[in-house]
Amino acid sequence: MPAVAKVLPLVTARGMPGALDYLDDSLAAVGTVVRIPLGRGRIVDGVIVARATESDFDEAKLKPVEVVEDRSVPPELTELAQWLADDVASTTARALGLVTPPAGKAKQRLWVRLADEDGPGGGGEDAGPIDDAEAEVDASPARKAPKLTAAQETLLTSLREDGPRPAGDEVARWRTLEKRGLVVVELADERRAPANHAVGSSARVAPAATEEQLSALRRISEVLAQDGGGSLLLHGVTGSGKTEVYLRATEETLASGRTALVLVPEIGLTPQIVHRFRERFGDIVATIHSGLSTGQRRDEWWRVRTGEARIVVGARSAVFAPLEDVGLVIVDEEHDSSFKSGEDPRYDARRVAAWRARHHGALLLCGSATPRPESMAALEIVRMTQRVDGRAMPPVEIVDMRRVPTLLHPTTREALTDARKAIVLLNRRGWSNFLECRECGHAWGCPNCDVTLVLHKGRQTMDCHHCGHVERVPATCPACGSVSIAQHGVGTERLETELAQLGLNVLRVDADVTDPGRLLAEFGASERAVLVGTQLVAKGHDFPDVELGVVLDADSTLRFPDFRSEERTFSLITQLAGRAGRGGDGHGKVIVQTTNPTHPAIVAAAQHDADGFLAVELAHRRDFHNPPYSTVIRLVFSHHDQTVARDLARAVMKPLVAANVGDVLGPSTLFRLRGKERQQIQLKVDRRAAAVEAVREALAPIERRAGQQRAQIMVDVSPQ
Ligand code: ADP
Ligand code: ZN
Ligand code: ZN
């Protein structure tokens, strides 16, 4: 009886057939990664998704698989990938690509230890609680042997004092000592540990919990203990101590023998929470995020897979960490848009987190000071309304910028020169985002996209922030030769320079800096500084001594024509306000510069009125049938040629309308991007799964044609 394995090739093409039959006599489990021949001489990776004893095809013609050592996907994650593919209208192969172990091998190194100690010291220099007992060694020079040379003595002493270490360049010397039975030199896996920046305040020792934290924890314990788990929304104002609640909930989960998954927004920007977890729990914390090297990613993944790490703290992709027996899934700053993936599969880590929590019967704990209306409507809410330090939220002053020609209002400038530590938010990178010839009006645009280029003065380039096109800064206008070029629109780079001219010590954090974690740490440690940046600076950091928060151009987020623009504006101001006036003498304050001083989202944020804002927002959403009262699905067809894109879109419109799943709008023209003309269709539906199915069916007949024409079709379910 042949052993048939149904294998899904890990190839990204849409419209691929599903699993294919192969032979596998080794009876490898479902989830095993294998190498398979596919078509003419092509060998690809695949995942066994099912087993069978017979095949519908001629078994004599089936090809064998080759099992790839060490690369199997846990069954839960195989199942998850299949669900995910349907949920976001992607393919199972692509979804499996998210859950297969990272490629690569362990790094090995020669280690030296004293002969009478056991095993290499493991991780080496990584932080975490260090056990001092290790330093205790047998120092008796009992062995009767020729005297050691001075150099050998030094090596041995260093080993006694500092513990096991890599042999480094001195392998030969160590080998001599090994022959005399004093040390052991051996190959050991060397962990490539992610960096761990110490940012902001410490939480090594748990502080006594506040009343509000205790009552939140009581409810959390109840749900943790409950069969089948549940879900809670921790709606706590900034500074209410949500992290401490997470830490304690995690502790409780570990104590019951289960593991914890903690998701945070993109981590290079929020290293603090990782740091706090490592401080409290040490090396059983693994971190997974986009900033890791391939080797670090592989090692962290395996630390989780082998059970060495029992807590995962990470960004979006950490939701696929191979934890077993999960008891707690935390989504911190659950309103953050970085939880949604921008590439196919366009998954939302918050939905995946909910799936995993359900699968394990775990508690899903979402937390935010500015929760999404979606979560307010769907989850049981646990509130924390007070700051831990008992201080009031800082007063927010709305500064009217109509008829103010300068970047900074005089009020803002004065406050900035007075403040010891301040954070200034401007949601635009670069020096200026619009260059125009004063003589002929020529504007510098991207050759590939219908957008203007952004001047980056430091590196002397003009960049397209959409496609990555880069060109040198022009000396003259290409249209008329004039040298008089106007720079409109101020970005963070220019803001940095202008503030430095006021004599301030400025640190800038945005997507253009390479190590935001280091800069944030530096800001945390400074006596006097201004932190300038895009929305990254408003995210969950906790610096106890920030006296002033400033939002410049608060209207920038309102200008997006999108039903989420008010939510985004409210959240950004509230989050930034939360960074000011903690600790210290507590006279924090916030300034919001706007040309829309009476806008409800801005006024509500200034009054710290999250409940009021969310109530109004939810009512609006209901009236306009927007999420959470519907699901939006976006289809984008792109091609060099507008007519090709339009024809494809039109061909899909008909069956979509006929499927009768909800409102179907379009096709409408989007701005040209990366050299492609684009047509969009947007659906607003009640039943997500049925609509995704309808979309797939509508796309199926044209997928082949689109492929031949080299047109692209993008489907985004619940776009952000
Ligand atoms: P949030 O995430 O709710 O904005 P944080 O978790 O960053 O708030 O906590 C704010 C500060 O309060 C941190 O410095 C934290 O260490 C401190 N903190 C939290 N809980 C307590 C407590 N019970 N007692 C004293 N300090 C606390
Ligand atoms: Zn010109
Ligand atoms: Zn471009």
Query: pLDDT digits over 453-478, tens only?
Result: 999 999 999 999 999 999 999 889 99
b/e sequence 671-701, b meaning 16+ C-beta within 10 Å:
ebbeebbbbbbbbbbeebeebbebbeebbee
Under 8 Å between Cβ of 590 and 397? yes
pLDDT of residue 80: 96
> pLDDT tens across 481-530, in order?
999 999 999 999 999 999 999 999 999 998 888 888 788 889 989 999 99
Residue pLDDT, tens place only, 89-122: 888 889 998 998 887 777 778 888 888 765 444 4
Residue written as token pair 């023998």: 257
Beta strand pairing call for 183-190 and 165-166: unpaired
Q: Which phi and psi (to 5°) does residue 715 adopt?
A: -120, 130
690-698 average pLDDT score: 93
The values of phi and psi at residue 622, to 5°, are -65, -45
Please tell me the distance from the alpha carbon of residue 597 to that of residue 401, in angstroms, as a whole number: 8
Q: How would you list the strands of the sheet with 32-38, edge to edge?
A: 20-23, 4-9, 42-52, 32-38, 66-72
Give the pLDDT of residue 106: 75
Ligand that comes closest to the CA of residue 671:
3
Average pLDDT over residues 544-557: 90
77 three-state secondary structure: helix
Whether the pTM exceeds 0.85: the reply is: no
pLDDT at 129 over 50: no
Q: How confident is the model at residue 582, as a pLDDT?
A: 64
Per the CB < 8 A criterion, the answer to whether 391 and 586 are in contact is yes
pLDDT above 90 covers what percent of the chain?
58
The Cα angle at residue 47 between residues 42 and 48, in degrees rounded to 5: 115
| Rounded Cα gap, residues 529 and 423, in angstroms | 9
DSSP 256: T
Please give the Cα distance from 33 to 47 (Å, whole number): 5
- pLDDT for 231-242, tens place per residue? 999 999 988 999
Q: Shortest CA distance to 421 belongs to which of 487, 332, 520, 340?
A: 520
The pLDDT tens digits for 309-355 are 999 999 999 999 999 999 999 999 999 989 999 998 999 999 999 99
Taking the C-alpha atoms of residue 334 and residue 232, their distance in angstroms, rounded to an integer, is: 12
Span 670-689, mean pLDDT?
95
Protein residues with C-beta less than 5 angstroms from the ion ligand 3:
446, 448-449, 464, 466-467, 469
Predicted confidence band at 641 (pLDDT cuts at 50, 70, 90)? very high
* Mutate-to-test residue for ligand 1 from 388, 539, 545, 574, highest number of ligand atoms within 8 A of CB: 388
Helix, strand or coil for residue 460?
coil
Q: Is the pLDDT of residue 137 over 60?
A: no
Which ligand sits closest to the CA of 477? 2
Domains defined for the chain, CATH in brackets: 4-99 (3.40.1440.60), 108-189 (no CATH), 211-384 (3.40.50.300), 396-431+490-622 (3.40.50.300), 631-717 (3.30.70.600)
Cis peptide before 667 (omega within 30 of 0): yes
250 in Cβ contact with 277 (< 8 Å): yes
At 156 the pLDDT is 87
The helix, strand and coil proportions of the chain, stated in percent and rounded to the nearest 5, come to 35, 25, 40
d(CA 528, CA 546): 10
Q: Which whole number is the average pLDDT over 697-706?
A: 89
Ligand 1 pocket residues where CB is under 6 Å: 201, 203, 207-210, 213, 236, 238-244, 388, 542, 578
Residue nearest to atom 23 of ligand 1 (CA): 209
> Which residues are found with C-beta within 5 Å of the ion, ligand 2?
437, 439-440, 442, 477, 479-480, 482
**pLDDT value of position 121:** 43
